[in-house]
Structure 1
Amino acid sequence: MRKTAALLAILIGMSGTISAQSDSLQANRYITRATTLGVGYTNILDTYLSPQEYKGIEGRVARETMRMTKLFNGNVSLQNFFQANLSYTHNSPDNNNTFAGLVNWNYGLHYQFHINDHLKLLAGGLGDFNGGFVYNLQNSNNPASAKAYANIAASGMIIYRFKIRNYQLVARYQANLPVAGVLFSPNYGQSYYEIFTLGNSDGVVKFTTLKNQPSVRQLFSLDFPVGCSKLRLNYLWDIQQSKVNQLKTHTYSHIFMVGFVRDLYLVKNKKGNPLPANVRAY
């Protein structure tokens, strides 16, 4: 009996060790998804349409997914971040208005440096893809300006976990800095009719660096539990600028956002297809 009991204890211990190792190897199945909505202030300049700045209100929606990968012994995370905004602005004399919109998608990897149980530093790179428009309500010849550009961006994060009483909170700061890319822009005084109908498209696609596109996106977020859910508060400071083909553009946005976070665990069925299941992250 004693030998049987000892053998059972060893088997149980081995089973627990194997289970723990298996769970650590499956960390890439844990996914954090967040959807946030918000409004804020924006300042827009596009000298193709007007030499004046336009200021007003902007609404924005964002959806983010983050998960660990198996790269570099499981120390690399994948971020998929999508956002879209729409703004309504007016000039200083208040005699003209514009509508503007932009869709932005970031997809990239970060290596995670675990400083301690509370602090992580992340560094990596992202693909940054953008498309949108600015429409001036009173311009007759060229009422609209198209926005299309893509970049390779350097990206960094600081993630800090802490508690207030029994509440687990997660604070994060992220900055994305476009290093190199391409941008579509008409030449000074050139119409879109010339570009797309007459085929005069020389020089409308430009290579960009920090010199002619000094831009940065900064995100501050705080996650905290509310009942059985987890709430996220975001502050987004978005600076997009360019100076090409004798044209200047900028969009400065300060957006406050709120939304919910879901933590998922991907479970594979018999056919190998991933099935999401809700889990508690904290």
Structure 2
Amino acid sequence: MKEIAALLVFLIALNGTVSAQCDSLQANRYVTRSTTYGLGYTNILDTYLTPQEYTGMEGRVARETIRMTKLFDGNISVQNFFQANLSYTHNNAEDNNTFAGLVNWNYGLHYQFRINEHLKLLAGGLSDINGGFVYNLRNSNNPASAKVYANFAASGMAIYRFKIKNYQMVARYQANVPLIGALFSPNYGQSYYEIFTLGNSDGVVKFTTLKNQPSIRQMFTFDFPVRYSKIRLSYLWDIQQSKVNQLKTHTYSHIFMVGFVKDLYLMHNKNGNPLPAKIRAY
């Protein structure tokens, strides 16, 4: 009898351990993905092309993936965020226009502090990689300016979950501030022909900090269900600035976006390949 009792205790303990391990593994397979599209207002300045500010409309698309990891007892989440925008702007005199575009990719880790069942605060860091252009339609000598820069940014979020009747709502605020990085910029009065053809490239890559690149990206999102779908409304306040090589640039964007959110659970087939299966819980 003692042997049977000991065996039962061992099996119960083993079952609890296996269940806890399975829960930990399953938590890593939950993925939240969203795709949103938006329009808004932008203000662009690039003194390499002109001392005038240009204002107009901007279109933007964003795709985000967030999931938990096994790091630090499962308290670390990973965020993969990609966005691209294209704008058409004009100066105050209404006699010139510019096209501008930028692609931005963030990949970062956040530690989650669970304050209570409704509120979570997240803190961490992420890579911030950017590439784009500004094209002035009337400039003949230097009509375009390239935008290439990368940073390490501090990032924080606040996520609040609540219900209205039986409907689950999620509100979030996120802010990313670049701390250190590198930026490509011609010197004042220098052409791209001099840089890339003649090889006069001294000083065109600059180390950046908050002093010469004071920027911030802020995002507000609100998720709510509509029948079997989940809708996301978001507002992006994107401020990108720099002052290097006697040149000033800025892009101030206010964008309202709408799209869909999907909650996925990654399963594995016999060959070990991930298979996404939609779940309704968020």
Q: Which TM bucket (shorter chain)?
A: over 0.9
Instruction: Give unpaired runs (5+ residues) of structure 2.
Output: 1-6
Query: What do the CA deviations read for 1:13-60 (whole angstroms, capped 9, x no partner)?
Result: 986884465123321110000000000000000000000000000000
Task: State the match for 1:88 in structure 2.
Answer: 88
SS in 1 for 2:194: helix
* 1:12 CA drift (Å): 9.5
Q: Distance in 1 between matches of 2:208 and 2:16?
A: 54
1:54 aligns with 2:42: no
Alignment of 1:71-150 (within 5 A): 71-150=71-150
Q: Which amino acid aligns with 1:27?
A: A
Alignment partner of 1:116: what SS?
coil
Question: Aligned partners of 2:16, 2:180: CA distance in 1, in Å?
Answer: 49
Decide whether the 8 Å contact of 2:173 with 2:219 is kept in 1. Answer: yes
Which residue identity lines up with residue 219 of structure 2 in the other structure? L
Which shows bigger deviation, 106-115 or 266-275?
A: 266-275
CA deviations 1:74-128 (Å, max 9, x no partner) are 0000000000000000000111000000000000100000000000000000000
Distance 2:264 2:44 in 1: 38
| 2: CA distance, partners of 1:99 / 1:56 | 10
Partner of residue 4, structure 1 = none
Please list the CA deviations of residues 229-249 of structure 1 after superposition, one character each: whole Å capped at 9, or x if unmatched.
000001000000000000000
* Corresponding residue SS for 1:107: strand
Cα deviation, residue 270, structure 1: 1.7
SS of the counterpart of 2:141?
A: coil
- Give the counterpart letter for 1:57 in structure 2: M
**1:264 counterpart = 2:226:** no
Shift of 1:269: 1.5
TM-score by length of 1: 0.94
> Structure 1 CA distance, aligned partners of 2:153 and 2:14?
45
Matched, 1:212 2:212: yes
The Cα shift of 1:197 comes to 0.3
Given the alignment of the two structures, is residue 37 of structure 1 paired with residue 46 of structure 2, yes or no? Answer: no
TM-score normalised per structure 2: 0.94
One-letter amino acid of the counterpart of residue 91, structure 2: N
Give structure 1 regions of 4+ aligned residues with deviation exceeding 3 angstroms. 10-21
CA distance in 2: counterparts of 1:70 and 1:166, whole angstroms: 31
Q: Tell me the percent identity.
A: 82
Q: 1:20 to 1:72 in 2, by over 3 A?
A: closer
The residue aligned with 2:221 is 221
Q: Residue 72 of structure 1: SS of its match in structure 2?
A: helix
Q: 3-state DSSP class of the match of 1:186?
A: coil
In the alignment, is the contact (CA less than 8 A) between 2:24 and 2:70 conserved in 1? no
Indicate the SS of the match to 1:87: strand
Q: Deviations over 1:247-266 (max 9, x none)?
A: 00000000000000001011
What RMSD, in angstroms, separates the aligned Cα atoms of the two structures?
1.8
